[in-house]
Amino acid sequence: MNKLTSGNYSVVKTDCLEWLKEYNESIKFCHIDASHDYYSVYSTIKLLLPLVIEGGILCGHDFVNANFNPKLNGGVERVVRELLPGFKNNETGNFWYWIKVL
């Protein structure tokens, strides 16, 4: 990150849901890698959506992996399909990304 950016990023190591409830700045890029259960992913993305600027990107992985565990209730894939129309995923299907278009 230091090599390929101008340093205008921050790494946050805390509970993302608690942090996002207090955060109110614009977001251009966010890689989501937290709990993979439906509720956690849904809550995270719902809190992020109003903060993402036009052209901003949300992305993550374990798109298809979460479906293999019934305890995750559809997990990442279910939430991304519900909340992020127009998302894309790679050839293996496990990495996904979404670009905000107004």
Q: Is the pLDDT of residue 99 over 80?
A: yes
The alpha helices in 11-102, defined as continuous H runs, are 16-22, 38-48, 75-83
The C-alpha atoms of residue 19 and residue 28 are separated, in whole angstroms, by: 17
> Residue type at 33?
D
Position of tokens 């109003």? Answer: 50
Condensed to tens digits (0 to 9), the pLDDT of residues 40-93 reads 999 999 999 999 999 999 999 888 877 777 788 889 999 999 999 999 998 777
* φ, ψ (nearest 5 deg) of residue 59: -150, 170
Which structural domain, as residue segments, surrounds residue 76? 25-99
* Residue 55 covered by a domain: yes
* Residue 37 covered by a domain: yes
* Residue 83 covered by a domain: yes
* Residue 4 covered by a domain: no
* Residue 9 covered by a domain: no
* Residue 14 covered by a domain: no
Number of domains in the chain: 1
* Residue 94 covered by a domain: yes
Q: What is the pTM of this model?
A: 0.86
Q: What is the pLDDT of residue 36?
A: 87
